[in-house]
Structure 1
Amino acid sequence: MKRRNRIIFHLDMNSFYASVEQAHDPSLKGKPIAIAGNPKERRGILVTCSYEARARGVYTTMSVWEAKRKCPEIILLPPNFERYRIASKAMFDILRSYTELVEPVSIDEGYMDISELDLTMDAITFAESIQQRLIRELDLPSSIGIAPNKFLAKTASNMKKPMGITVLRKREVAEKLWPLPVIEMHGVGESTANKLSNIGIKTIGDLANIPLGIMKEQLGKVGLRLAERANGIDERLVDPTSIFDTKSVGNSTTLPYDETNIKEIDKVLLRLSKKVAARLDSKNLAGRSITIHIRDANWKNKTKSKTMQNRLFEEQQIFLLAKTLFHKTWDGEPIRLLGVTVNNVHDKGEYAEQLSIFNFEEHAKEEPILKLVEQLQEKFGANSIKRGVKVKKKSSLESKTSFSKDFLDDHEKR
């Protein structure tokens, strides 16, 4: 039996938080609104804004004071995560009414694989029916990308907003994507774009046609994956459970004002490290590498990473590494934002710690316990006793975000 061609939808809700507020209060429709933090502090950065506000030059991540200068009549609202969570759940429930092959990516976007559905209409008409149902039942606008794989579907959904439906075929990649600057490619950030620029890659087409050996040498596996994407190749499946695979645990904060006092910066790094450690502990996770994120007063971003031989999860260990990386990276510019992330995380029990001169004594103390365990297993069976019992920890407020606490829990209940 011939396998059907893959048909992947990427559905992206348009200005989700702002649209939810307008659906909740119809008097806000047609008006420039924005969701922001505390407008009295510089922490008041716009989380999102309506298309009416965007038409006035307002954009996400703009500061509150600048948004008011651009659009004096803008309506600022505090975030209501419970309201957004309920809307998100309703949106994904609608998508799952068509197929179980729905992969949430974030609170307001996800993939659908409709390849095996027996449709009585073409893919575009089907996408239109989903789009109109979201409007009719939730009063929420969306854009949908249609393609043979996830990368192209994601790219397509960004091509027309709001309320767009875009088809992107693999044979159209050279014509539609290759002329674009490489920074516009999904998966390429500012740092990666700079690295690519240093080896002469300015456009997506440059990336698609560079010898793979150069990409592997410069960026390793990431480089090879980006080169494949630039050629429209993406074999990833739509996986409904992938959202639960934690790959990193991090925390960041925008400072109340541009900071240059190293003692205050260290205090912030300690606070961030404490939150990251608490989240790792609540999930019984440990990582192998750490990354710090720095944004200066001119919005220039820098990151610095370090890979460790042994597992990383303790607060003091995270803080000392973050502090060391910061001091190596910081050029004295005033700091606007700081972040700390532990990467390559896995369950603590999956790690085999390397013995060293520093931890040998700790492991030596456990030797009598290990021998006792072996004796009991020999006498009563291999499964009679195991080293360590994994106890589900009670989550603290520090260990959760609005995303993990509400959004993920909604999907786990299914």
Structure 2
Amino acid sequence: MDRAIAHLDLDTFFVSCERLQDSSLNGLPIIIGGGDRGVVASCSYEARYFGVRSAMPIRMAMKLCPQAKIIKGDMQLYSNMSHLITDIICEQAPVVEKASIDEFYLDLTGMDRFFGTYKWTSELIEKIKKESGLPLSYALSINKTVSKIGTGQAKPMGALSIPSLQVRPFLNPLSIRKIPMLGEVTYTTLSRIGIRNIKTLSEMPIQVLQQMLGKNGVDIWKKANGIDLTPVEPYRERKSISTEHTFDQDTIDIVLIKSILLGMVEKLAFQLRTEQWLTSVITVKIRYANFDTETKQKRVTYTCADHTLSQLVYELFDRLYLRRMRLRLIGIQFSGLVRGTYQIDLFEDTQELMALYQAMDKMKKRYGIDAVTRCAAANLKHREKQIKQIIDK
């Protein structure tokens, strides 16, 4: 029995949410982003017509489309709308995977025994549109790869059903750029040897692609042939991430404590970006030598940037640590999480800062989480060793 996997994608989600709040924005070229040195978080189809794209510098976008209206963006609004749609889908569908803030996979395998799967999906889409007021596109096929490509072809506000016998005829004429997770470097490599459409790629010997691209070559060959056994992972919303540090010796050394806090923030922020989360609630915990435990919490604008989070953590610690007693434990928790597809907060951060974080994260993924760190955190282990030597004497 063929699988039945639906892919749902909200059309220009951030822009659609803003238009839901202000109908005068309908039909206008809209850019969601912040500041002259910021980048485009999202844009309307009217703006895309002029060449504007996500992650493009705002200045470049305004040169391409000077008549566009720039809106800073409201992550709280987008998060609330995403939760509303998630609730609607989870009430109806048997297995749901939330791939991002505006993208979902549904495993509907076996449901056609009771009623047409495509008809059921169409009715769900109408329910979402009616209750949320937001436009979306979807495709139904035999796996996640084909249904995602199908949704891209159906946009905007379209629908496609691609049964197993139609998978190859559907994929063959498309550009290899349509294959999910096929990046610019791989596209350039394949283009140089004349592979530009999916049909040509699917007919290449798999051994040749493996020699050229390694394991990635095997993966994209399978996708080009409509093969994808990846399961739909049931949706479970993560509530928080946290970490704690217990001192070997109770301490009152503020410099040491703040160095440790910085290192903890860096690791948690890297985890946020790697798993594509943004946090809106920061909590700092301290435990005194007599085991008294206190916490302080602050709600903030959604972010996952080290420099922002570290300043907030320092601020909370300074407000929390009022008794001049030794500490035995410190902890940090990031909660109020929302899914995002961006590595940093595109509404506030500049293009240069975005590039810096991307470079740092790339090095951490390749060489380990401690490969790149700030000086204060880098000197931490040496300082702890010095203190231990003094105490031992």
Which residue matches 1:233?
Answer: 227
Following superposition, the deviation at residue 207 of structure 1 comes to: 1.8
Instruction: Find the residue that maps to 1:202 and give its secondary structure.
Output: coil
Shift of 1:124: 3.0
For residue 101 of structure 2, what is the aligned residue in structure 1? 107
Residue of structure 2 in register with 1:80 after alignment: 74
Contact 1:102 1:238 in 2 (8 A): yes
Contact 2:31/2:69 (8 A) holds in 1: yes
1:31 maps to 2:28: yes
Give the counterpart of 1:126 among 113, 120, 124. Answer: 120
How much has 1:160 moved relative to structure 2? Answer: 1.7
Matches of 1:72 and 1:133, distance apart in 2: 37
Q: Are residue 155 (structure 1) and residue 149 (structure 2) matched?
A: yes
1:51 alignment partner, one of 45, 49, 53:
45
Report which stretch shifted further, 28-37 or 117-126: 117-126
1:61 aligns with: 55
Matches within 5 A, 1:275-314: 276-280=266-270
Q: 3-state SS of the aligned residue for 2:127?
A: helix
| Counterpart code for 1:235 | L
Amino acid at match of 1:102: V
Show the 5 A alignment for 1:324-403: 337-338=355-356, 339=358, 340-341=360-361, 342-343=364-365
Alignment partners' CA distance in 2, 1:175 and 1:122: 23
Shift of 1:346: 11
Q: CA deviation at 1:98?
A: 1.2
| Partners of 2:66 and 2:99 in 1: CA distance | 34
Indicate which of 10, 14, 19 corresponds to 2:16: 19
TM-score normalised by L of structure 1: 0.57
CA distance in 1, matches of 2:190, 2:234: 33
What is the aligned partner in structure 2 of residue 223 from structure 1?
217
Structure 2 Cα separation of the partners of residues 27 and 185 of structure 1? 36
Distance 1:20 1:180 in 2: 31
CA drift at 1:150: 0.6
User: What's the offset of the Cα at 1:55?
Assistant: 4.0
Considering only aligned residues, what root-mean-square deviation do their CA atoms show, in Å? 3.4
How many residues are matched? 266
Residue 23 of structure 2 corresponds to residue 42 of structure 1: no
Quote the Cα distance in structure 2 between the aligned partners of 1:195 and 1:274.
39
Q: Is the 8 A contact 2:267 2:369 kept in 1?
A: no
Shift in CA distance, 195/238, structure 1 to aligned 2, threshold 3 Å: same
Q: CA deviation at 1:169?
A: 3.1
Q: CA deviation at 1:177?
A: 2.0
The residue that corresponds to 2:88 in the other structure is 94
Task: Note the alpha carbon deviations across 1:223-278, whole angstroms, 9 max, x for none.
Answer: 1111111100111111115887xxxxxxxxxxxxxxxxxxxxxxxxxxx9997534
2:163 aligned partner, one-letter code: R
8 A contact 2:2–2:164 mirrored in 1: no
Aligned-pair CA distance for 1:182: 2.0
Q: Within 5 Å, give how 1:167-206 maps onto structure 2.
A: 167-206=161-200
Unaligned runs of 5+ in 1: 245-271, 286-333, 349-414
Separation of aligned partners in 1, 2:90 and 2:32: 28
CA distance in 2, matches of 1:345, 1:100: 40
Q: 1:344 to 1:234 in 2, by over 3 A?
A: farther
TM-score under structure 2 length normalisation: 0.60
For residues 149-185 of structure 1, give each alpha carbon's deviation from its aligned partner in whole angstroms, at most 9, with x where no partner exists. Answer: 1110101000021111012234334333223332232
Structure 2 unpaired stretches of 5+ = 239-261, 276-351, 371-393
3-state DSSP class of the match of 1:103?
Answer: strand
Displacement of 1:148 in angstroms is 0.7
Q: Which residue of 1 aligns with 2:139?
A: 145
C-alpha separation between the residues in 2 aligned to 1:225 and 1:68? 38
Where relative contact order (Cα < 8 A, 6+ residues apart) is larger, the structure is 2
